[in-house]
Amino acid sequence: MNHGQQSIASVYRSYLREIRRLPHAYLRRVFRLKAEDGCRAALLTKCDDLRARKLKRVSQTIQHVRAANNGNHKAFNHILDIAYGRVGKLRWELMEPLLSDPNAPLPPPIIPGKESSRPPVYSPGLTALLTSGLSRRKRPLVPENLSFPPILPERADPNSSDAQILGPFSKRREVNARWKYFRREWKKVFPPLQISVSPSQDVGNEGNDLSTSAAVQKIGFDGTTVLEELVQLTTKPKNTSRKGSDASLPRRWLRRRYQELLGRLPILTFISAREDMKTKKPGGFSVSLAPNALKVRFQGRSLPCSTDDDVAWNQKHPANIKA
């Protein structure tokens, strides 16, 4: 074994020691895979300088995990964000299915005859996330922002007085502005781990199953119990560790961290269409948070560690919220 391989093996052993101290099985599993991938990539790299850079990134991750295990609030939040797709590659994998809508017809090109000038399509799931204060780092959008982005001048509306006076707005600039707004705004969204389905309560709606399957896209953790396990960690502190784990962080402290994470994990639910003798309601998406989540946003404004009662009170007294 040469010196480079010895260095990688030493880093890997250090990584595994810290992983064993993590407080629950899902985190240990995620970072075990991350350790294997990172060290394998370094081992397969022939260039010494590139290998050293890759090994440095692995070492930095070890430092984050070590700090988290030692009770550093910021570091623990960071490893939770990595493990649950609030940042990094997993975040993109969770968001990607929501950035298009295979069931929607293609919008016509803004520039006639130029296929690449078609505007972005906001899927129903993404629209729900963008227009909810529970799933965004910033103030939620209103539906009008999606059809006519606020970064477009009034002149972009051919029926506006500005367009009549100054002439039509550049179609190419409109295409660029619409895509710029789309990319900028979806990046402010916290992606859901999965899409839940709330079936209609009406009798005789067996036909809805087919339409529901077509409307709901599959994302990341669909079909798993990852979200349920996380919720359980906030209600049964004894499950935050297991026999054989070296976890030593206070259970109450851990509970708080998981509750804060739930505040960054919107639950996207598809509500099936309802049809009866009196009403006919189309299906759609709703956004919510788990009951034990610590809500850190209220319509784009900060409410650190607020409870359900706090949010209900502020909804009745919006004038009392400081901007």
Distance CA 111, CA 308 (A): 48
d(CA 144, CA 14): 52
Contact 196, 271 (CB under 8 A): no
Q: Residue 213: its pLDDT value, please?
A: 52
pLDDT at 219: 84
Q: Which own/partner pairs from 88-96 qualify as long-range (CB within 8 Å, at least 24 positions apart)?
A: 90/220, 91/191, 93/220, 94/191, 94/192, 94/193, 94/219, 94/220, 95/186, 95/189, 95/191
Residues 6 or more apart from 314 whose CB is under 8 A from it?
A: 298, 303, 306, 320, 321
Per residue of the chain (323 residues), what is the pLDDT tens digit? 676 788 899 999 999 999 999 999 999 999 999 999 999 999 999 999 999 999 999 999 999 999 999 999 999 999 999 999 999 999 999 999 999 998 889 999 999 999 999 999 999 999 999 999 999 988 999 999 999 999 999 999 999 999 899 999 999 999 999 999 999 999 999 999 999 888 655 444 444 554 555 556 778 898 899 999 999 999 855 544 444 445 589 999 999 999 999 999 999 999 887 655 455 566 689 999 998 998 754 444 444 444 444 445 444 544 443 33
The answer to whether 264 and 296 are in contact (CB under 8 A) is: yes
Quote the CA–CA distance of 171 and 177 in Å, as a whole number.
10
What's the pTM value of the predicted model, to 2 decimals?
0.81
Residue 64: predicted pLDDT: 96
Q: Report the alpha-carbon distance of residue 87 to residue 90 in Å, rounded.
A: 7
Residue 275: predicted pLDDT: 54
Length of the chain measured in residues:
323
**Pairing mode, if any, of strands 301-306 and 295-298?**
antiparallel
Find out whether 194 and 219 touch, Cβ atoms under 8 Å.
yes
> What six digits make up the tokens of 79?
């490893």
The predicted structure's pLDDT at residue 4: 72
The predicted pLDDT at position 319 comes to 43
The DSSP letter of residue 104 is: S
Look at residue 306 in the predicted model and tell me its pLDDT.
46
